[in-house]
Structure 1
Amino acid sequence: MITYITDCHDGNARARLSIRIGTLFGQAPTIVAADGPDPESFAALTLLDCLQALDLLGEEGHPTITLLNIAPRDGVWPNGVPFCFFRYGKHLVASTFNTRVLSLVRRELGIDHVYVTDIREAVTAAGFAPGEVEKIAGTQFRSLWYLPLLAKWVADGRAVPATQTAVPEPLDDEPVVAVVDNFGNCKLDQRLDLVPGTTLPVAQRNDDGSTTIVDVTCYPHLTAVPRNAPGIVPGSSGTGFTELVIRGGSAAGAFGLQPGDTLLERAAEKVA
């Protein structure tokens, strides 16, 4: 099984990615769009959830391959950040070396190092001609021309030049909305370990740009939340990461939240 989480997800890109991976591996990938205002937080939580889902099989499963591409060209790296790979048990992940994207698997799964590659070095070692090396290294669409090759080489057990590199420890940041699901539930990127019956001050963004602090009650699970009322519950993502919900409604809509937003009262100072 091959899953590709990427911020290159328009119809043209999806068609090209599907064909290239299908040709290399003999099967088309499941392409997951990392869209919205904060694709990094979406990708981080989705990667963690995908890898944790492998532990819930209850029996021996097939090896999987997950590709991940979140690569803004911010000028720090020539032609974008490098690509890396790591294994989680018998499962392979090939990804851009984006420390925020890797932060949750670092914190929750103990993936504290990855193997970072240099495109020119890796493609040269694979026997490509100089002109092909430069084409692959210099393309705008490296996640099409290089990342699937990297995954294929590692999956096949071929030696790939790479440098073992530490994944920085995540900062102890405020909880951030990583994903807004189709119900409008706001999935956070951490577990808050709150006691049912207590309240949490949540920063609600208003249409006029102001912020209102709303004390939201914590509940043990979604069905304990009164209908049409907000609640804080342990969610289904991560290791029971916290979610802001409205039973029967959209918490994201009611609180004006989107991926990348901080949740707590102290976030109001940043919004005001």
Structure 2
Amino acid sequence: MYPITYLTDCSDGNARARLSTRIGALFGQSPTIVAADGPDPEAFAALTLLDCLRSTESLGEDGHPTITLLNIAPRDGAWPNGVPFCYFWYGQHLVASTFNARALELVRRELDVQKVFVTDIREVLASASWTNLEPAEVDRIADTQFRSLWYLPLLAKWIADDRPVPSTPTVVPLTPDEPPTVRVIDNFGNCKLNCHPTAIGFTLGASIPVTHRTADGTTKQTNVTCYPHLTAVPRNAPGLIPGSSGTGYLELVIRGASAATHFNLQPGDAPLRRSVD
């Protein structure tokens, strides 16, 4: 059996119950469901997907294959009934996802996932001769509002089972350059960004200006010192360090307190400038 992690913006209690039950019925085990919520769910999903795949490295052995599902699907009208779903392999690890360039940008950049396999729901369901789905069920699944419940788990199961699922190899689109952006705020209040320390001119002992909001809503700049790791930051002082996410991505921290609260930051905020804008 594959360990399954599901990152999704459909994460209320009702959605979690249905997702857990359907995936359990398909795979014989329920997934770990992670809410991609907050003001910038795509940013959270992109860094978390990268971290999930990187966590399968350096095991000291071959390890077991995993499945990661990702659903971030804005209904922007660009696609009939929403953006399509795709899949790709990272070594022996399967990812089935909405075809969302921003959610896939960090695995493209850091893990060289340049191409994914995009599927058409109705085409896949119509060709699935290995199932006992009736035509009315095919129509219901293809037309449903909750495609990440009815279709995405089927896609993952059929790819994992090596079924001949029709798909189109598609290059992951480039996304517009962003300034260093807060992608995840952890439970300690550390702000994980989407860039390497070198992108902002990180040098041990140097001070880097951090732009943030004050309690009265005005914008302020505070110089923050660069340190090699968290324990080198003086207690209750802010610091910039190479963090644990991505491939050593930058983190804004306060040792013993919440940097997010202190600087009034949330995912999607851009508190730093690249050193070569």
Mind listing any 5+ residue stretches in structure 2 that lack a counterpart? none
Tell me what 2:158 maps to.
153
Give the direction of change, closer, same or farther, for the CA distance of 1:75–1:170 in structure 2 (3 Å limit). closer
Map residues 134-145 of structure 1 onto 2, 5 A cutoff.
134-145=139-150
- The two structures, once aligned, show a CA RMSD in angstroms of 1.2
Q: Which moved more, 1:180-189 or 1:73-82?
A: 73-82
Tell me what 2:41 maps to.
39
Map residues 92-241 of structure 1 onto 2, 5 A cutoff.
92-127=94-129, 128-193=133-198, 194-241=202-249
Tell me what 2:17 maps to.
15
SS at match of 2:56: helix
Task: Report the residue type matching 2:58 in the other structure.
Answer: L
SS at match of 1:101: helix
Residues 151-173 of structure 1 show CA distances to partners (whole Å, capped at 9, x for unaligned) of 00000000111100001234432
> Cα distance, 1:200 vs. partner?
1.1
Residues 110-134 of structure 1 show CA distances to partners (whole Å, capped at 9, x for unaligned) of 0000000000000111144332222
CA contact (8 A) 1:222 1:247 kept: yes
> Cα distance, 1:265 vs. partner?
5.6
CA contact (8 A) 1:199 1:216 kept: yes
Alignment of 1:243 with 2:251, yes or no, is yes
Residues 136-188 of structure 1 show CA distances to partners (whole Å, capped at 9, x for unaligned) of 11111100000000000000000111100001234432111000000000000
Tell me what 1:269 maps to.
none
> Cα distance, 1:220 vs. partner?
0.5
Instruction: State how far apart, in whole Å, the 2-side matches of 1:61 and 1:96 are.
Output: 26
> Cα distance, 1:199 vs. partner?
1.4
CA contact (8 A) 1:213 1:265 kept: no
Task: Report the residue type matching 2:259 in the other structure.
Answer: A
CA contact (8 A) 1:107 1:170 kept: no
TM-score, normalised relative to structure 2: 0.94
Tell me what 1:56 maps to.
58
SS at match of 2:25: helix
CA contact (8 A) 1:2 1:64 kept: yes
Task: Report the residue type matching 2:24 in the other structure.
Answer: G
Residues 192-220 of structure 1 show CA distances to partners (whole Å, capped at 9, x for unaligned) of 22111111111111122210011111000
Give the direction of change, closer, same or farther, for the CA distance of 1:237–1:265 in structure 2 (3 Å limit). closer
Task: Report the residue type matching 1:60 in the other structure.
Answer: D
Alignment of 1:84 with 2:86, yes or no, is yes
Tell me what 2:31 maps to.
29
Instruction: State how far apart, in whole Å, the 1-side matches of 2:74 and 2:111 are.
Output: 25
Q: How many matched pairs? A: 266
Residues 26-60 of structure 1 show CA distances to partners (whole Å, capped at 9, x for unaligned) of 11111111111111010000000000010121111
Instruction: State how far apart, in whole Å, the 2-side matches of 1:222 and 1:170 are.
Output: 31
Instruction: State how far apart, in whole Å, the 1-side matches of 2:138 and 2:273 are.
Output: 51
> Cα distance, 1:263 vs. partner?
1.4
> Cα distance, 1:64 vs. partner?
0.5
